[in-house]
Each structure stands twice: as structure tokens, then as C-alpha cells.
């Protein structure tokens, strides 16, 4: 019997998640939310047009956020706007390249550190003999696969 009470006490101690509504009809609460929170709430409520508009607004800020691009791609797919989806995929791939170049330019100019990093990358199999990376960071393969899928869908819609 002592075991049963111990298990009940353990179950009672488990923290419960607090659900907070992100989208209310009160104008004051909406103003406090960020654009991303508003877009996410609009998407959850089924207002894809508003979510699309808000995500596009966030992209135009020029701050790179891979999840914003991904969510906008998903919204375009749900609305069957394949041309717009292809456009945002191309834009996201280009923006990611710019982001990576900018990020790599901040790295140190110390020759010893560069040499050590390059030899470590080669020994771990992350780069080829010329120093080119063999693997792409996470959103890129997903976006490229999405791009081929969208191109197929566009070809199918043109042939019909």
C-alpha cells in the first residue's frame, strides 16, 4: 500500500503545462504580441491570408529566420499557390547563402586557427580535399526537396 500512495504523490507533483491564448479579440492584447505570434495565431485560427501577410512582413525586415520562410512555404502549399511558394523557396535559399557568408565573415582571421579548423574538418569528413563542405546545414536540404516537389506540381498543373 505504501507504493500506491508514493506513486499518487509523484503523479500529483508533476508540473502541468499552462496554456496561454495567443490571439484575443482585445485590441490591446494584439498590439502586445509580436508579428510572429500574431501570424502563428492567425494560422492556427485558419486565417491563412492574414498569416501570409504577417509572415511576408517579417521577411521584409531582412532578419534571417528559417522558420518564418518554412511557415510561409507551408501556407502557400495549403493555398495551392505553387508559383509563390517557388518564389519564396528561391528567395529563402538566396537569403540563407547571404546569411552564411555574412556569418562566416565574422570568423577570426588567425591563420593558425583556420589551419587547425580545416584539418579538423577534413579528418572528421566534413570537407573534401579542397576544403569545400560536404554537408549542408539543416533547412537547405528540406527546402531543396520542397523546391523539386513544387516544380513537379507546376509541371502537372501546366500539362492539365
CATH number 3.30.450.40 given to 19-159: no
What pLDDT, on a 0 to 100 scale, did the predictor assign at position 49? 93
Task: Please state, in angstroms and rounded to a whole number, the distance separating the CA atoms of residues 116 and 91.
Answer: 34
Q: What is the pLDDT of residues 21-57, one digit of tens each?
A: 444 554 545 556 788 899 999 999 999 999 999 999 9
pLDDT band at 138 (very low <50, low <70, confident <90, very high): confident
Number of alpha carbons in the 13 Å side-chain half-sphere of residue 103? 8
pLDDT band at 16 (very low <50, low <70, confident <90, very high): very low
Tell me which residue of 79, 80, 58 sits closest to 67, measured CA to CA: 58
Amino acid at each position: 500500500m505504501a507504493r500506491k500512495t508514493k506513486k499518487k504523490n509523484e503523479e500529483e507533483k508533476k508540473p502541468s503545462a499552462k496554456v496561454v491564448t495567443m490571439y484575443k479579440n482585445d485590441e490591446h492584447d494584439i498590439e502586445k504580441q509580436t508579428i510572429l505570434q500574431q501570424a502563428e495565431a492567425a494560422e492556427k485560427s485558419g486565417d491563412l491570408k492574414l498569416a501570409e501577410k504577417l509572415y511576408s512582413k517579417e521577411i521584409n525586415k531582412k532578419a534571417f529566420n528559417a522558420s518564418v520562410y518554412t511557415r510561409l512555404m507551408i501556407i502557400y502549399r495549403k493555398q495551392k499557390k505553387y508559383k509563390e511558394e517557388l518564389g519564396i523557396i528561391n528567395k529563402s535559399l538566396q537569403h540563407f547563402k547571404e546569411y552564411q557568408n555574412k556569418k562566416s565573415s565574422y570568423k577570426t582571421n588567425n591563420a593558425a586557427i583556420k589551419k587547425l579548423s580545416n584539418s579538423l574538418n577534413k579528418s572528421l569528413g566534413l570537407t573534401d580535399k579542397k576544403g569545400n563542405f560536404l554537408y549542408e546545414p539543416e533547412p537547405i536540404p528540406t527546402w531543396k526537396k520542397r523546391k523539386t516537389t513544387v516544380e513537379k506540381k507546376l509541371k502537372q498543373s501546366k500539362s492539365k
